[in-house]
Amino acid sequence: MDTLQGKTVAFLVAPEGIEQVELTEPWQAVLEAGGSARLVSTQEGQAQGFNHLDRADRFEVDEVVGKASVRDFDALVLPGGVANPDALRMDADAVAFVKAFFDAGKPVAAICHAPWTLIEAGVVAGRSLTSWPSLRTDLINAGARWQDEQVTVCRSGPNTLVTSRKPDDLPAFNETLVTTFAAS
């Protein structure tokens, strides 16, 4: 069944430093569930994926975050990689875009290092989530309840946040984000 039929999911990335599998596998899961996906970035052109530290594929950007509207999307995915969320959290438009999803009560999914951007958006306090282990202290210091598990789903007010630790957790992350996005 096409559980995301008619839904459009934004994938927010920096121009460089995306852990490629954390972009491509959730993207494919959204498409296979009948949804559509759009790549939103801080710059026009292409975004560079990485397989850990090695350059991988390039991906065409559909929309620049400063011109993107949360109204045009039903959900948001934040792929990881170390450099990707580090660059996003330094971009005011990217941070505002993430915060706007929470303000609008739309679901968000983040994997690996992506919760750094959530910290910068000021949306983790009081929420349960997981991440790459090195973010544990950052998240706790920002008021989150960090958990070491494949996937954490936190429903807080009108928002649902799906988080996951690493590429090995992608099957569980993808299944959970599709189910969560379909229910919203």
Q: Whole-angstrom distance between the N-terminal and C-terminal Cα of the chain?
A: 16
Q: Which pair of tokens denotes residue 41?
A: 């970035």
Contact between residue 62 and residue 74 where contact means Cβ atoms under 8 Å apart = no
Mind telling me the catalytic residues?
112-113
How confident is the model at residue 158, as a pLDDT? 84
Task: Round to whole Å and give the CA distance between 123 and 70.
Answer: 16
97 belongs to a structural domain? yes
1 belongs to a structural domain? no
Look up the CATH number of the domain holding residue 144. 3.40.50.880
170 belongs to a structural domain? yes
How confident is the model at residue 2, as a pLDDT? 59
Q: How do residues 77-132 score in pLDDT, each as one tens digit?
A: 999 999 999 999 999 999 999 999 999 999 999 999 999 999 999 999 999 999 99
Q: Span 35-39, mean pLDDT?
A: 98
86 belongs to a structural domain? yes
132 belongs to a structural domain? yes
Task: Round to whole Å and give the CA distance between 22 and 90.
Answer: 20
66 belongs to a structural domain? yes
3 belongs to a structural domain? no
Please name the residues in contact with 53: beta carbons below 8 A apart, sequence gap of 6 or more: none
Q: How do residues 45-67 score in pLDDT, each as one tens digit?
A: 999 999 988 999 999 999 999 99
Report how many domains make up the chain: 1
Q: How do residues 11-36 score in pLDDT, each as one tens digit?
A: 999 999 999 999 999 999 999 999 99
- Measure Cα distances from 97 to 12, 65, 68, 134, 161 in Å: 9, 7, 8, 25, 15
116 belongs to a structural domain? yes
How confident is the model at residue 156, as a pLDDT? 87
